[in-house]
């Protein structure tokens, strides 16, 4: 036998021993419990499957976002986020079952933990489900002005669990999504950015009501934020106990800052009334005291 043949045999033996070492390493098992055991090969398969799934989901996301209008991309991203985690969960369970891990044993071993986590995350899942409903029924969009539980804000972001809005004083309002199901939600801009606002005022009995109407309309038209169409409207609402009550109705293009124009209009009304001798009465009561015999 030649020396070259001996070298080839030695190399073959060396390669065989290397592969045996690799196989031995891949076959190493970690016993998580008596019934659950996972090998290094299983871990590699699991990591590979998750990596491939991630690449596939990114490709799917890019394909779908090409055909979606830019203003709807944010909504699709949130919905796709829910879908992505669901795909990961299904892939994980299928992969574990394929590599021979007894899922029944996994669920049995973690039953108590799952119950505790489920109770602790009950509100969390309510928020997620509510977030899905928000996107499906299109009740709230980014940029909408909403009022919920007495708080008003402009929606900046709809996330998986919460909705972020900014109030008029630039404070961030974090709204758990489940509140949309348990509270009454007012969407100020769902029908458009134009909103009808009003200011109420009472004048003394005996005042010239036609002059009052003229002055109220003048006060509304004098403000730059009030739109010319629809025109401001004055309603004679009631004969009060101490005053004749009127409501001035006008249209704004941005109701988010509506408190500022309404305040300015009240200043203007007070000034015009003073210049035209229109008085704003305060409540008065007549008290009659009867003396006993």
In a domain, 223, yes or no: yes
Domain boundary among 165, 187, 209: 187
pLDDT of residue 278: 94
Work out the average pLDDT over 253-265.
Answer: 86
The domain spanning residue 219 has which CATH number? 3.30.70.100
The answer to whether 217 and 254 have CB atoms below 8 angstroms apart is no
Give residue 77's domain range. Answer: 19-109
pLDDT of residue 87: 83
The number of distinct structural domains making up the chain is 3
202 band by pLDDT with thresholds 50, 70 and 90: very high
Per-residue pLDDT tens over the stretch 265-276: 999 999 999 999
Distance (Å, whole) CA 131 – CA 127: 6
Per-residue pLDDT tens over the stretch 209-224: 999 999 999 999 999 9
> 174 and 238 in one domain?
no
Per-residue pLDDT tens over the stretch 116-131: 656 656 777 777 777 7
In a domain, 69, yes or no: yes
Residues 6+ apart with CB under 8 A from 115: none
- Bigger pLDDT: 77 vs 49: 49
> 257 and 182 in one domain?
no
> 233 and 211 in one domain?
yes
- Bigger pLDDT: 13 vs 244: 244
Per-residue pLDDT tens over the stretch 89-148: 788 777 777 766 666 655 555 555 556 656 656 777 777 777 777 766 777 888 888 888
pTM comes to 0.55
pLDDT of residue 1: 47
The domain spanning residue 173 has which CATH number? 2.30.30.60
> 205 and 165 in one domain?
no
Domain boundary among 187, 206, 227: 187
């Amino acid at each position: 036998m030649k020396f070259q043949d001996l070298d080839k045999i030695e190399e073959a033996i060396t390669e065989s021993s290397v592969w045996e070492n690799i196989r031995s390493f891949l076959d190493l098992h970690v016993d998580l419990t008596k019934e659950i055991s996972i090998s290094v090969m299983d871990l590699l398969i699991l990591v590979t499957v998750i990596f491939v799934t991630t690449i596939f989901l990114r490709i799917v996301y890019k394909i779908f976002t090409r055909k979606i209008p830019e203003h709807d991309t944010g909504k699709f991203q949130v919905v796709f986020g829910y879908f992505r985690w669901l795909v990961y969960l299904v892939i994980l369970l299928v992969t574990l079952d394929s590599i021979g891990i007894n899922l029944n044993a996994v669920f049995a071993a973690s039953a108590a933990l799952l119950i505790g986590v489920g109770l602790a995350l009950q509100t969390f899942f309510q928020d997620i489900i509510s977030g899905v409903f928000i996107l499906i029924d299109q009740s709230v969009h980014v940029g909408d002005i909403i009022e919920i539980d007495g708080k008003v804000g402009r929606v900046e972001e709809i996330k998986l669990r919460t909705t972020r809005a900014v109030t008029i004083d630039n404070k961030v309002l974090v709204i758990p999504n489940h509140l949309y199901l348990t509270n009454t939600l007012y969407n100020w801009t769902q029908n458009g950015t134009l909103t009808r606002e009003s200011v109420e005022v009472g004048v003394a009995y005996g005042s010239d009501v036609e002059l009052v109407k003229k002055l109220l309309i003048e006060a509304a038209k004098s403000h730059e934020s009030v739109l010319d169409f629809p025109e401001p409207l004055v309603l004679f609402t009631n004969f009060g106990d101490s005053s004749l009550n009127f409501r001035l109705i006008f249209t704004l293009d941005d109701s988010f800052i509506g408190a500022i124009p309404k305040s300015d209009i009240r200043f203007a009304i007070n000034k015009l009334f003073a210049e035209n001798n229109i008085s704003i009465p305060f409540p008065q009561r007549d008290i009659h005291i009867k003396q006993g015999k």
